[in-house]
Structure 1
Amino acid sequence: MTTRSWTLLHQADNTRTDHTVITPQDLGVDGAWKIEKRTLHGGLSEGVDEIRVNNGKLTFSILPTRGMGLWKAWLGDLEIGWKSPVHGPVNPAFVNVGEPSGLGWLDGFDELLVRCGLESNGAPEFDKETGRLKYPVHGRIANRPATHVSVTVDTTTQEITVRGIVEETRFHFLKLRMVTQFSTRFNDSSLTIHDEIENFSAGPAEMQMLYHANFGLPLLDGGSRVVCPAKTVVPRNDRAASGIRTWDSFPAPEAGYEEMVYFLELYAADDGWTRTVLKNAHSTQGISLVFNKRQLPCFSLWKNTTAENDGYVTGLEPGTNFPNPRSYEGEQGRVVKIDGGKRAAFLLTLEIHPTSKDVADAEAAVHKIRAGRDAQVWDKPQPGWCS
């Protein structure tokens, strides 16, 4: 059996491959998997690096230029992701995260999974005295390009791993380094993201992480549901409170729909692991997010069921905190503290369910975690939860 690695990008050595294709033939073995690295051209995608991994069953696209985000995935004819009115992937050179409105991040938003952080990950926040932007919406890490990217194929474990390093730093201020690994096995319908956030300063640091996982048609449709072991459900604002009776279900696309957001605490198994499932209206297809509540104790549900061409989408969002303004979340203690030279780790698995049986099995896993326990569903925003 064989293990081999390829360096696709390395800033320190000025190394970058514009186009690389890796197949089983490169290792002298049989198989149907394929890895391709290419550079995109045209429009807002000009210069974006993409790594497309096909494990023989599942294909997914990683964007080193966009903070090692996950652009889309495909399982046979099923496309997982959403149709954003932002036609990307967008090169961060065209995204002004620090623009005065605090909403510049939205100019590049079209991924299946985008990390929000690392200094902050919530709503934009402004200085009360000067009105100047303090923290932009959803932070900066998604618009920081990777400094190092490599691929490893291990034919013994039958695993493909894409590793990347992205830094979020400012002189005199934050010094954080994210080391991420995307891993998948040959002919599997799941992938796992393992992130380690290193504080390479000599002094302590605080950080936040939110995994903004976004799904549109066909997994999201009129009658879709989120199945999760909810312990507590809180509407973010009065708008969300007006839809609290149907917080876990979704309507068909509706022009002019105003988003609703719910903050949740989930039940977990004794070892901390929990799961949320999104399934379509007929329970024939779905997807699970599997994560550890000890690492990601907060869960946010974003419902944006507007017209399809305006971005019909829902976000399932495990995080270290709720996406309120950074100062508010800090006051609630929802930050991760990392001593100098230390790391914090996060693990998230996406499992795709292409059949009714797969969906039923995932739901059964949720019910096992819930163990018959009820959820407390609040009909209005709660202190300590909502800014």
Structure 2
Amino acid sequence: MKKTLVLTALACLISAPVMAKTWALTSADSATDLGNWKVTSNMLKVKNQNFSIEQKVLHGGKQEGSKVIIITSKDGLTITLSPSRGMNLLRVEGYGVRMGWDSPVKEVVNPAFMNLESRNGLGWLEGFNEMMVRCGYEWTGHPVTADGQIYTLHGKAGNTPASQVEVEVSDSAPYEIRVRGLVKESTFKKADLQTMTELRYVPGSNRFALHDVLTNHADYPHDYQIIYHSNFGKPILEAGARFIAPMESISPFNDYAKAGLKEWQNFAGPTKGFDEMVFNIKPLADENHHTTAAVINKAGDKGAAIQFDTRQLPVLTLWKNTDTEKQGYVTGIEPGTSYAYPVTIEREQKRVKQLQAGQSTQFDLTYTLLHTSGQVDDVVKKIGEIQGSTPIEEIETPIAKE
């Protein structure tokens, strides 16, 4: 038995036909929305896995009307994402470990209550609490006014509700779950960038994958940028925690970060008065162009790792924000096409990419929640093999100045 739902022609590019059951949760084209919805492994008559997928519509405060989708695997992970907020991942939990952090922003803020141009283009911060937020795609980085407009902090995709959302579950073992959402950045006389996001998860596993396809639907070429802003706090982040990644070089984002260059790999505990320190990294990759970056706790038995393709995402940003817990004690591992400088600087330094009319590009990342010392050791070994004998160049001067 095969049930299919074709969202767009682009969906056909994302995955080949599989034996699966599919549910359309949202469709702007047909003005439909299932609202509160749930399916379980019992309902699907799956006997050797225990999982559920649920959509909830939230109420109260600035999250009024926001939606979340929660994938729960009894022997694996609980993954929470928000179709209302660009299909961002809010948090991932399992095995007594969490990927995510505690932001002062507690609600899943509905973009209807956001003003990205407030605070001189920093309004994005009023909804920022995700484990992973897509910063892009029309632009990303720090805010700047240029070309007669305000390029607000980290673009608009992360505050754009998905126009179409569907859930798919394979009919056979290992019963892979796929959640897809179409995020449109379409503006008259400007951009028509559309991203089909996809999260893939096998119940019982400690990892999941993202597969995003960005397409320029306009008749003209258009620039694009993306940073996968991936954020981790306690229990992984703590005094003595470490960041590891194979790299050719690392440099401070600005003069303030220069003071922390020699300690880039190590994290402090919550420190009042600590401003954010950001570092620009040029990663190394293996023969398949894959690389891995990770943050691990002091004991070396918990962590989070991200694997990505450096042909798709050639640069890496490390964001250290070890301020107080109430202020937001967090670090970010951020694979991207660009660093976090304003788009004007990224253009000057030729890191802004472009899609021709009708052209598509894709981004593939795998996130692993590390919950044993053996898993941590495996990641440390993999990163060490990629690094090999290549020395890490610590460049003391920032590559740009805002």
2:7 is aligned to: none
Given that residues 95 and 371 in structure 2 are in contact (C-alpha distance below 8 angstroms), is that contact kept between their aligned partners in structure 1?
A: no
Q: In 1, are the aligned partners of 2:97 and 2:369 still within 8 Å (CA)?
A: no
**Deviation, structure 1 residue 133:** 5.0
Question: Contact 1:250–1:305 (CA<8 Å) still a contact in 2?
Answer: yes
Off by >3 Å, runs of 4+ in structure 1: none
> Does the 8 A contact of 1:55 with 1:184 survive in 2?
no
Distance 1:361 1:372 in 2: 19
Counterpart of 1:204 (choices 217, 221, 237) is: 221
1:19-52 CA distance string (max 9 Å, x none): 1111123322212011001101111211111000
Match for 1:155: what amino acid? D
1:357 Cα deviation from its structure 2 partner: 0.8
1:1-387 map, 5 Å: 3-30=20-47, 31-56=49-74, 57-99=76-118, 101-127=120-146, 133-156=149-172, 157-382=174-399, 385-387=400-402
Q: For residues 274 and 249 of structure 1, what CA distance do their matches in structure 2 show?
A: 20
CA distance in structure 2 between the partners assigned to 1:155 and 1:251 by the alignment: 47
- The one-letter code matched in structure 2 to 1:37 is Q
Between the aligned partners of 2:368 and 2:321, the Cα distance in structure 1 is 23
Residue 55 of structure 1 and its aligned partner are, at CA, apart by 3.3
Residue 35 of structure 1 aligns with an amino acid whose one-letter code is I
CA shift for structure 1 position 78: 2.0
Output the CA distance in 2 between the equivalents of 1:98 and 1:321. Answer: 21
Specify the SS of the correspondent of 2:125.
helix
Q: 1: CA distance between counterparts of 2:30 and 2:273?
A: 50
Deviation at residue 386 of structure 1 after TM alignment: 4.9
Render the CA deviation track for 1:211-233: whole Å, top value 9, x for unaligned: 00011111100011101102100
In the superposition, the TM-score normalised over structure 2's length comes to 0.92
What percent identity do the matched residue pairs reach?
Answer: 35
Rounded to whole Å, the distance in 2 between the matches of 1:276 and 1:6 is: 34
Matched AA of 1:87? K
Tell me if the contact between 2:97 and 2:302 (Cα under 8 Å) persists in the aligned partners.
Answer: no
Deviations 1:149-190 (A, max 9, x none): 000000325200001001011100011001011001121001
Stretch of structure 1 that moved more, 191-200 or 78-87 = 78-87
**1:55/1:160 contact within 8 Å kept:** no
In the alignment, the residues of structure 2 paired with residue 321 and residue 45 of structure 1 have an alpha-carbon distance, to the nearest angstrom, of 30
Structure 2 SS opposite 1:101? helix
Which AA in structure 1 matches 2:77?
L
Residues 42, 50 of structure 2: 8 Å contact kept: no
Could you tell me how far apart the structure 2 residues matched to 1:315 and 1:159 are? 28
Q: How many residues align?
A: 382
RMSD over aligned Cα atoms: 1.4
Question: Runs of 5+ in structure 2 lacking a partner?
Answer: 2-18
Q: Which amino acid aligns with 1:323?
A: A
State the distance in 2 between where 1:377 and 1:371 align. 17
Contact 1:175 1:201 in 2 (8 A): yes
Unmatched 5+ stretches in structure 1: none
Matches of 2:95 and 2:25 in 1, distance apart? 27
Q: Quick one: which amino acid aligns to residue 67 of structure 1?
A: G
Q: Structure 1-normalised TM-score? A: 0.96
SS of aligned partner of 2:292: strand
Deviations 1:3-23 (A, max 9, x none): 200011111111111111111
User: Which stretch has the larger CA shift, 107-116 or 27-36?
Assistant: 27-36
Shift of 1:54: 1.7
In 2, Cα distance between equivalents of 1:263 and 1:39: 38
Q: Which amino acid aligns with 2:110?
A: N
Q: Distance in 1 between matches of 2:363 and 2:292?
A: 15
Q: Name the SS for the 2:239 alignment partner.
A: coil
8 Å Cα contact 2:304-2:369 kept in structure 1: yes
